[in-house]
A and B are shown apart, each in its own frame.
Chain A
């Protein structure tokens, strides 16, 4: 029996900043120090892991790479507290520890044959990235793919080179925004929920997935309803303070659901029944 509290060591293959500033975002590309772990490791888009350093702590992050990307895992982490500050000190060649995969995943099998629209804001693109990558690596299984993504400024945009590549490819539509005007910004200016109304994806045979700051999600959900999406066509992820990651330590619940174990992926239909979901 694997002890669920003992983390695996991972070695950093590459590390780079996605966004600068006080709450900068750094992406780590890692592989298991013990290569044998790959034989039993299996994750799906949406799954998370507890990421940390013994002596500092652990926090929960989504695995921001798709299982179709072989030989590494990715984590994109915003500097916010003690643990993330320590992680941000690390570079290629350094190590940290992860426990996982934890949580549920996006029901990508159920979504086969459907059109998918992702709506992301800021670091909220991290859990959407594996969904997009999965669909692009299984392109024939899905209908149209449309990406809507915004951040405060162009500098705060995560995964810039990937968005550029996606934007110039013909396998999906890509719509970007920033909150306030900047010189030479060729795309939409305004908040993500407004960009969503501008793009106005059709709800027929479609699934919308949204991740981002709570205030954005709130307006995106309202706007998706205006566009005709029913709550069971809309998915999001939740986050809360976590310690065990396996549904025992108690704190991450929204109503009777544990975000660590029953989530992080929830349909809007599920969350409408939980008054605490957007607290």
Chain B
């Protein structure tokens, strides 16, 4: 596939072209960068490190309707995801795209989740390579990812200074290139090599790492180990590590009813770090303290998920480290697992 380039002068034009779809792009919101639907190309903020909140909500909304009902009526109306239309997520980081590829496995496991899978089918992912690792706590290379990784992406952009190098990776990516044919030009012949060198340079700047080999097999043997009490001692149970995690997919289901009797059953992000997550109707809780909940979080990502899907449910984005209010560091926990 011949590489293309998108001149930075034409980015606005390209985004305007893409706004005929539901266009999602990084944008400033107060002090942080988040992904949001944009209608004006000027809203897009592409010179960002990584977004505080991952773009997962555009595949797996924080709250979504499963079906609508009227109390007492037998008719249930399922939400039609198709109505949301074709979506382009523009400029997401390779780790967040890889996270979607990892979560796809769960939502198609034995039972197809029609809401998630339809939304993914309608979505094209345009990645933005990390020419510089966006955070001191990036560790994607330890998990099989890369600042220039392409897993899950349909198209990868690389910032070459005056222009973005554009690489189509899938049929969806090629289609998008066709949509942007007026904005794209052929890329210089030596850009492929240049990009490879840039990728190696960026990987070399990643400061944090963990050797994951053997961790999935070792974790079940550390069930009663004292480390869980130690590493969870400072935890406030706020759940930010899970809400901001691009691979965390746990959800609650709740019903809402208006006074008119019209209601909806919806699902919303939930967190294994909350007490209510596992408490039985009897009051019994199989994970009564933050020790058990932290142990489950780490085991789920680093042992249970690989047992089912042959991949660790962590992409090394570093958000849970950067944003934990009490500085709990998943790499320090994993170091203790390795040393135990």
Contacts and interface: CB of A to CB of B under 8 A. Distances in A.
Nearest to B77: A6
Contacts, number: 114
Q: Interface of chain B, helix or strand or loop or mixed?
A: mixed
A159 B238 CA distance: 45
What interface size band does chain B fall in?
Answer: 35 or more
B66 A5 contact: yes
B111 A4 contact: yes
B255 A54 contact: yes
Interface stretch (B6-14, B155-163, B178-186, B244-252): B244-252
A244 B110 CA distance: 13
B76 interface: yes
Interface in B197-246: 220, 223-224
B22 interface: no
Given A55-B71, A256-B304, A249 B78 contact: no
Contacts of B281: 59, 80-81, 84, 241
Most buried by B among A33, A244, A246, A247: A244
B69 A55 contact: yes
A251 B278 contact: yes
B78 A6 contact: yes
B76 A249 contact: no
Contact of A261 (B110, B272, B292): B110
B109 to A, nearest CB: 6
A1 interface: yes
What interface size band does chain A fall in?
Answer: 35 or more
B112 interface: yes
Contact of A276 (B78, B114, B272, B286): B286
8 contacts: A1-B114, A33-B74, A55-B71, A56-B255, A240-B278, A243-B252, A247-B106, A261-B111
Given A4-B111, A55-B71, A55-B255, 13 more contacts: A1-B114, A4-B112, A57-B254, A84-B281, A97-B76, A241-B280, A247-B106, A251-B270, A251-B272, A253-B304, A255-B299, A261-B111, A276-B286
Interface of A: 1, 3-7, 9, 33, 54-59, 80-81, 84, 95, 97, 239-241, 243-244, 246-251, 253-256, 261, 275-276, 279
